[in-house]
Amino acid sequence: MIRYIISRLMQMLPVLFIVSVAVFSMTLLLPGDPTFSMLDEHATSEERQALRERLGLDMPVPVQYAKWAQNVLSGDFGRSLRNGEPVIEMLMQRVPATTQLAIMAIILATLIGVPLGIISALNRNSIGDVAATSAGMFAMAMPSFWLAMLLIMFFSIHLRWLPPSGYIPFVKDPIASMRLMLMPTITLGTVMAGLILRQTRTSMLAVLSADYVRTARAKGLGEHRVILRHALRNAMIPIVTVVGMQMGTMLGGAAIAESVFSLPGLGQMVVDGIFNRDFPAVQGAILVIVTFILFLNLLVDIVYAWIDRRVSR
């Protein structure tokens, strides 16, 4: 297992290099001149050119990338072009919100999708199966921003149960933090819950008809033991794969949830950076998000290898 983990870590290095090149190149393709957001609109062309030289924007792109990559490896993501704040400090302030939202969304989606998928598979073609499958399709089709608006209208405006926006760190006030994160978690976890439900149902249906499940039942094992120990363990392999594949989509949707609910997360940082032409902030936030996704996929691979030991051989 250790050798397998080291191998997966080594495979991440070229991916990180390619991603860093893509992130740096894409931010340079953003329309607009960052000097217009940093200087007064009445600034002269000489003043703007002097600022470009000071920021290194006049150097060749490969030179700019090499200098940026060297600084990133040393932990220096540069300074925000908007307010001059170190990007690393901005990232440290925003990572907790995105991390909490992602963890809560994954937990919610798993707690909803897996049990409903198992129940749906065990009661195939029943009213409960049709209802669960329809709910999963509806969850997958629901746009995240529309669901967020509905949640705010119902729970915040109509019932006045939850605050419509804001963020409090979990370590500061766990209860208040959970109340503020509940609607963003539902917004982000709903689509994933629908995907997990449908994948769990499909995987369980395929496993329940397998010979080893019929043999376990023929030996007189209890139904709960057959389902949880024999069927679900093997059905979890494609489910874990689907969860890993949806990590990137989920964090992409985090930008929508963070914007609607005013969460100071990485997604909101990317959106603000694009609007303000704040290239260092955008580069740092996207690089952290991609690295986060890669490590989540590594965790999924480890779980996959733990479920099926043949993978790590």
Can you say whether residue 49 is alpha, beta or left, with left for phi > 0 and alpha for psi between -120 and 50 degrees?
alpha
Give residue 40's pLDDT.
Answer: 63
178 CB-contact burial (10 Å; exposed 0-12 / middle 13-18 / buried 19+):
middle
Span 191-217, pLDDT tens digits: 889 888 988 888 888 888 777 777 777
Span 243-270, pLDDT tens digits: 777 777 777 677 888 888 888 888 888 8
Q: Which domains does the chain have, with CATH numbers?
A: 87-312 (1.10.3720.10)
For residue 1, what pLDDT band results from cuts at 50, 70 and 90?
low
For residue 185, what pLDDT band results from cuts at 50, 70 and 90?
very high
Q: 278 or 193: which carries more pLDDT confidence?
A: 193
For residue 34, what pLDDT band results from cuts at 50, 70 and 90?
low
